[in-house]
């Protein structure tokens, strides 16, 4: 909708006297779209497909109209790690495994969060790992090695991230250098909550951080609640209620789909996948109402060589047979794999995410969508 059409629809809603309709139809914000980038760490095609068979409803992701394939290799390895994988999205460069926000020659590259914050965008980073872990860190930090999580924690404080939620308390409050970063949050204008995901009296000039576990959040199969979808909804509420005219960029990570793959634990993996799909639903519901929000779901790589295979059963007098109506989990590896991963897109500019392309193209496609190209 262009600006004139926007004014026209606003006037029509004013004079139609249909206040209910006016309430439902939020006027579409002119200008570049908000972006919600959801990363399922380790989410290959079988991980994604598992939500078709193990959820109690149709997955939210079937609502995406545009689908592509991302080629995931890093500059150093055929099989990427999560650091190089996320840096491809956040900085637009192929780099070596282990790099956080740095190019292959270890020069720091500005992240999309830094670039957009400089143009007064609001930004958010949410993960079910520690917030200093490779995927979220790649959006706000620059270190040559992903394991430098104490350094990454300090960089979060001085970053542009307005809303952060995840685990990783020990990197801030129980550090090897014995410094406690608690006072540094206040100095940085960040209200930090280490107890619970509770909404605040949001203020536009304040940043918010929720650090709710020592390391990663509790896995869903061991009792994690609705943290990921709720944190996603909370960040949207913060953006909307403090500065509804400023666009926002938010990265939401289902971090532990990957960990279920590493552990070759199908229950772990599938429950994280279903949880991630709930966060996808929150993002899509918002984008459908808002009308000017681009939602992208993708993965950094596959993990576990995971497949949904038929179950072998013993049939009397016939020996072993494959039951094609009974699924079993199969794992080919305890690590990542080289397979391409899905990219799903909805909203302004989404059609550009169709096709087969390198993972770092996702960064450039997001920028093209922002510029309306």
Q: Report, as residue numbers or ranges, the catalytic residues.
A: 82
Segment lying near Zn ion (by CB under 5 A), choices 100-108, 239-247, 257-265, 348-356: 257-265
The 10 Å Cβ neighbour count of residue 21 is: 11
Distance in Å, CB of 159 to Zn ion, minimum = 24
Distance in Å, CB of 42 to Zn ion, minimum = 5
Q: Where are the extended beta strands (E) located within 74-137?
A: 122-130
Distance in Å, CB of 259 to Zn ion, minimum = 7
Query: HSE on the CB side for 332, CA within 13 Å?
Result: 12
319-330 and 307-315 strand pairing: antiparallel
* CA nearest neighbour of 86 among 24, 129, 29, 33: 129
Nearer to Zn ion, 85 or 124 (CB): 85
Applying CB under 5 A, does 302 fall inside the site for Zn ion?
Answer: no
Applying CB under 5 A, does 149 fall inside the site for Mg ion?
Answer: no
Nearer to Zn ion, 33 or 266 (CB): 266
Nearer to Mg ion, 162 or 300 (CB): 300
Nearer to Zn ion, 34 or 95 (CB): 95
Applying CB under 5 A, does 253 fall inside the site for Zn ion?
Answer: no
Applying CB under 5 A, does 300 fall inside the site for Zn ion?
Answer: no
Site map for Mg ion, 67-106, x if CB under 5 A? ---------------x------------------------
Question: CB nearest Mg ion: which residue?
Answer: 135
Instruction: Kindly list the distances between the CA atom of residue 264 and the CA atoms of 259, 287, 304, in Å, as whole numbers in the listed order.
Output: 8, 34, 6
Nearer to Zn ion, 304 or 347 (CB): 304
**Contact with Zn ion (CB under 5 A) among 253, 258, 277, 302:** 258
The answer to whether the beta carbons of residues 305 and 260 sit under 8 Å apart is no
State the binding partner of 302 from Zn ion, Mg ion, none, CB within 5 to 8 A by kind: none
Segment lying near Zn ion (by CB under 5 A), choices 85-93, 253-261, 308-316, 326-334: 253-261
Cα(310)–Cα(332) distance, rounded to whole angstroms?
A: 15
State the binding partner of 135 from Zn ion, Mg ion, none, CB within 5 to 8 A by kind: Mg ion
The answer to whether the beta carbons of residues 254 and 224 sit under 8 Å apart is no
Which residues lie closer than 8 Å to 235 by C-beta, 6 or more apart? 124, 126, 163, 165, 250
Return the residues of window 231-290 that contact Mg ion according to CB under 5 A. 255
> What tokens were used for 206?
């304040």
Distance in Å, CB of 309 to Zn ion, minimum = 22
Cα(67)–Cα(343) distance, rounded to whole angstroms?
A: 6
DSSP sequence for 156-172: HHTS--SEEEEE-THHH
* CA nearest neighbour of 217 among 287, 166, 175: 166
The answer to whether the beta carbons of residues 239 and 114 sit under 8 Å apart is no
**Contact with Mg ion (CB under 5 A) among 135, 256, 264, 360:** 135
State the binding partner of 162 from Mg ion, Zn ion, none, CB within 5 to 8 A by kind: none
Cα(64)–Cα(295) distance, rounded to whole angstroms?
A: 9
Nearer to Zn ion, 253 or 258 (CB): 258
Query: HSE on the CB side for 174, CA within 13 Å?
Result: 9
Residues within the interface to Zn ion (CB under 5 A): 258
Q: Which stretches of the chain bind Mg ion, using CB under 5 A?
A: 41, 82, 135, 255
């Amino acid at each position: 909708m262009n600006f004139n059409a926007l004014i026209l629809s606003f006037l029509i809603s004013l004079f139609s006297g249909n206040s209910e309709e006016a309430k439902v139809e939020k006027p579409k914000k002119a200008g570049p779209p908000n972006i919600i980038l959801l990363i399922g760490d380790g989410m290959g095609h079988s991980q994604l497909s598992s939500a078709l068979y193990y959820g109690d409803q149709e997955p939210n992701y079937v609502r995406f109209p545009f689908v592509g394939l991302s080629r995931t290799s890093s500059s150093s390895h055929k099989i990427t790690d999560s650091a190089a994988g996320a840096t491809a999205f956040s900085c637009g460069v192929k780099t070596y495994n282990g790099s956080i926000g740095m190019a292959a020659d270890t020069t720091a590259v500005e992240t999309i969060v830094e670039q957009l914050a400089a143009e007064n965008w609001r930004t958010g980073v949410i993960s079910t790992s520690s917030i200093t872990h490779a995927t979220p860190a790649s959006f706000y930090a620059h270190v040559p090695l992903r394991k430098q999580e104490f350094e990454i924690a300090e960089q979060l404080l001085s970053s542009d991230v307005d809303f952060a939620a995840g685990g990783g308390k020990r990197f801030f409050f129980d550090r090897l250098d014995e410094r406690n970063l608690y006072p540094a949050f206040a100095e940085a204008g960040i209200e930090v909550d280490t107890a619970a995901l509770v909404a605040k009296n949001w203020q536009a000039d304040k940043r918010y951080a929720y650090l709710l576990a020592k390391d990663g959040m509790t896995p869903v199969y061991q009792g994690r609640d609705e943290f990921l979808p709720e944190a996603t909804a909370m960040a949207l509420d913060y953006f909307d209620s403090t500065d509804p005219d400023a666009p926002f960029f938010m990265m939401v990570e289902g971090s532990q789909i990957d960990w279920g793959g590493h552990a070759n634990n199908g229950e772990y993996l599938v429950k994280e996948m279903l949880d991630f799909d709930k966060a996808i639903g929150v993002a899509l519901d918002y984008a459908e109402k808002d009308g000017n929000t681009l939602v992208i779901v993708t993965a950094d790589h596959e993990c576990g060589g995971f497949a949904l295979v038929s179950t072998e059963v013993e049939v009397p007098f016939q020996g072993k047979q494959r039951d094609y109506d009974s699924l079993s989990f199969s794992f080919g590896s305890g690590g990542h794999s080289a397979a391409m991963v899905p990219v799903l897109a909805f909203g302004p500019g989404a059609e550009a995410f169709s096709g087969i392309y390198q993972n770092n193209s996702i960064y450039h496609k997001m920028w093209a969508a922002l510029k309306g190209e």
